[in-house]
Amino acid sequence: MATVAGLVPFTTIDYPGCLAAVVFFKGCPLKCPFCHNPDLQENENKGEMEWGDILSFLSTRKGKLDGVVLSGGEPLMQPDIVDLAHQVKELGFKIGVHTSGVYPKKLREMIAYIDWVGLDIKAPWDKYDTVCGRPKMADKVKESLSLLLTQGVAFEARTTCDPDCLTPEDILTIARELKVNGVQTYALQHYRTFKGDKHPPEQSAINQFFTVEALIPLKKLYPNLIIR
């Protein structure tokens, strides 16, 4: 059974263009130092909410919400996530997924239910294992990226700009690689401190990714570059 960590009943920012609820799941195989939800990295096999309560709530939001976002942690780590997506879809909601892309087989299994994906691209491919704290992850993410592109699923690729892990040059490398592969929507995310953040970077280091000089070549690649 899924380990549900919590529910945000209403959001306008987690699913572009949709009013949505967000369901957070526990568990993630990665150990990214900039993770904004580090409390959700461990799967304790006990959720804070029951899935049945989530469905009961969603049944009251028909006609009021457009979609439901499955987030985490890493939602595709849940063994029954495909069935859960099917249940949400049957209620009439669009489904968004926030994922690291490290479970391409599970993504393929549930692709028929998904309407939009936020795909985290952690680093240039040659830095991937170091940044995410696990080996051999880059190939899995590439497979997920290829699946989204070939299946025509609406998605954005996005990167959190942690100055302790990445440089502006790294971001440009990522952006170029994604563009060559056919990605149309790219988002840069500011590093934000979180509970338990023992060594937050200086604000000047965070800002270096968002200077005019750093953004000009990115905006040439992605005229509608998203910054959040």
Cα–Cα distance measured from residue 228 to residue 224, given in angstroms and rounded to the nearest whole number: 13
- 16-63 residue pLDDT tens: 999 999 999 999 999 888 887 777 777 666 667 899 999 999 999 999
For residue 85, give the CATH number of its domain. Answer: 3.20.20.70
**Which structural domain, as residue segments, surrounds residue 191?**
4-227
Measured between its terminal Cα atoms, the distance across the chain in Å is 33
Report how many domains make up the chain. Answer: 1
Give the helix, strand, coil percentages of the chain, each rounded to 5.
40, 20, 40
- 146-171 residue pLDDT tens: 999 999 999 999 999 999 999 999 99
- 92-101 residue pLDDT tens: 999 999 999 9
Please state whether the predicted TM-score (pTM) of the whole model is above 0.85: yes
Cα–Cα distance measured from residue 62 to residue 175, given in angstroms and rounded to the nearest whole number: 38
